[in-house]
Structure 1
């Protein structure tokens, strides 16, 4: 691969465009006074060292990266409640400017580590000077609690290169279950939380008119 900047430019464009569109959805919900299923959105293009490392681990030739590695471009959507994840999924499935080509439910079927998230692979068209190019983008949809756990696990994974000491592994699994119980408890009082947020937003708008 001679020029990574040129190769990754369409992926960066896809990430930037999708972030704008998803943040736009969030703003539409806020203006309608409905509960927004999207708390916030982040995105990134996988760094070159990470691409090379994954290609080596997966035995993927560099000239096959576009077809065989689906997370060169990544979007993360954070939600307040587990129920919001299904709302976001429906929003993605019904859009006409992208195509959902694969779904992986790691919430119902958590990973052995305790990891929970819902992964969706999109086929997204990017307009370039050479014409339309379809990009694979991996979207991870998760609650704030799931994201907190995954962020900590990712840092520890980097430190231990995936070989966790047994006590750390057990603590992570317990923490994952605690995070999931937190999500379950928050779901039980979801109506109360949403009403409190609507009251706060109304008061904020009145004070800023």
Structure 2
């Protein structure tokens, strides 16, 4: 976290950092258990972040919680801690999700499957909101968002994010349409790659 974020979260900052590390350790243990004889990692990479002070405050305003204290903010957001697990194949996304459901170290609060039901703009990802124990500073639990997606989905989301926050883009409407087309084509490619993988592994 940056200094501004430490100042905003105050005494809760170390708690958030500890919980972020704890979630990552649980996920790494889980992913390592999937190792095959070829030592292929189930995930291409795993990233995490604690929501910045600016982002948290913007979200609180949208939700009608402006000028609230940090504890209330943490109790009323589901992604103060965010973790992104990027996989090679769609099948890996759901394999990891199935294992997440089996873990008793956290509770699953909500699941948003934007792979089966993409957003209108073409966004695809599997979002899993989990609740993890804290029992410090008056907080019994805290919520974190796990995002599971393929490399292709992650690449698309990164480009879409750049478009969303960059001003004065020329031919913006045309680019939005093109990005949506790319989302559909990449989804089709993801499915084809999954099928080829299964055929190679003699599962089809």
Question: Is the contact between residue 153 and residue 172 of structure 1 (CA under 8 Å) also seen in structure 2?
Answer: yes
Listed as ranges, the matches of 1:16-55 within 5 Å are: 16-30=21-35, 36-55=41-60
* Structure 1 CA distance for aligned equivalents of residues 62 and 28 of structure 2: 34
Aligned equivalents of 2:186, 2:65: Cα separation in 1 = 35
TM-score (norm 2): 0.83
Gaps of 5+ in 1: 196-209
- Contact in 2 for aligned 1:122/1:138 (Cα 8 Å): yes
Q: Summarize deviations over 1:25-60 as a string: whole Å, max 9, x none.
A: 222322665764333211100111111111122222
- Structure showing the higher helix proportion among its residues: 1
Give the paired residue count: 193
Alignment of 1:18-97 (within 5 A): 18-30=23-35, 36-61=41-66, 62-63=68-69, 64-97=72-105
Aligned residues: CA RMSD = 2.7
Partner Cα distance (1:40, 1:108) in 2: 22
Given the alignment of the two structures, is residue 133 of structure 1 paired with residue 140 of structure 2, yes or no? yes
1:184: how far off? 1.1
Q: Aligned match of 1:8 in 13, 33, 53?
A: 13
Determine the C-alpha separation between the residues in 1 that align with 2:14 and 2:24.
15
The answer to whether residue 97 in structure 2 is matched with residue 98 in structure 1 is no
